[in-house]
Amino acid sequence: MSDEHSNLPVVNLITEITHALSVRRGPLIVEQTLSCLADMNLTAESMQQLEPCMPSEFIDNFDVAVNNIPSQLSALANAIDASKYSIQWNRDLGQFYVKDAAVGDSYRNRNMNCILIGPQNGFFHSDKLIMGLFFLRPRTFYRDHDHEASEMYFNLTGPHGFRFDMSGWSDYPADSIVWNTPWLPHATRVYDVPLLTVFAWVENVDCLCRVVHTDDWVQLENELVTASAG
């Protein structure tokens, strides 16, 4: 039998994500995410038990990220801080990529995610929605990739660089929504502030990510490391 009291930080986190999205309505991907959430039974009694795991080498960067969440999202920031040790943070690529995908060492060594809701490995089960937190340490380059699912990033920190369809870079601030439509290649570069984002997949959530090759990956990865050292 589950300990419903210990489930409360995670339930509260999902509640605060839902509340924050509900006052950022407009983009279709936000509406679709909220629609999936509204259909779910997100109570402490119905939550699955997952073994908590926070990689020790990530915790300092993670706390920096939480401290960089802007004040209008303070309730969500507090909910993340209160639940961070109750969450199963994943370091392996298995759920979203084939094991030997060419994501590069920058991404491979500097990313973690947690699944709050999903068809497998989440606290709550859904076949229509994957929602969780996605984290990248500072100076990470996340190479161009695409997938059949439609994806939301609700960026809680920033600025971070994004490019779409392998064209020009744009910086997105904290408290911004990015919508990656199906099969649209997208890449992310993280500067000094760690990336912490709420991600959601709707439609075709059983798909895998595909790396989309470009010739400038090594240059971009080196630029981020050089800027860090300078």
Q: Which is nearer to Fe ion, 10 or 178 (CB)?
A: 178
Q: How many binding residues for Fe ion (CB under 5 A)?
A: 1
CB of 120 to Fe ion, least distance (A): 18
Q: Which is nearer to Fe ion, 77 or 112 (CB)?
A: 112
CB of 186 to Fe ion, least distance (A): 6
Pick the stretch among 6-14, 92-100, 134-142, 147-155 that binds Fe ion (CB under 5 A): 147-155
Its sign, for the CA torsion 153, 159, 165, 166, is negative
Q: Which is nearer to Fe ion, 61 or 111 (CB)?
A: 111
CA distance 53 to 193: 23
Give the number of other CB atoms < 10 A from CB of residue 109.
12
First to last CA, the chain: 54
CA distance 157 to 151: 18
Pick the stretch among 19-27, 78-86, 150-158, 211-219 that binds Fe ion (CB under 5 A): 150-158
Mention every residue, 6+ apart, whose C-beta is less than 8 A from residue 207: 147, 148, 149
CB of 187 to Fe ion, least distance (A): 9
C-alpha distances in Å from residue 16, one per residue of 50, 126, 164, 171: 20, 19, 29, 25
Q: Which is nearer to Fe ion, 9 or 158 (CB)?
A: 158
Q: Which is nearer to Fe ion, 50 or 208 (CB)?
A: 208
Q: Are the C-beta atoms of residues 157 and 194 closer than 8 Å to each other?
A: yes
Please give the residues from 29 up to 58 whose contact with Fe ion meets the rule CB under 5 A: none
C-alpha distances in Å from residue 32, one per residue of 29, 64, 151, 156: 5, 30, 10, 19
Q: Which residue is nearest to Fe ion (CB)?
A: 151
Pick the stretch among 65-73, 78-86, 104-112, 148-156 that binds Fe ion (CB under 5 A): 148-156
In the complex, which residues of this chain contact Fe ion (CB under 5 A)? 151
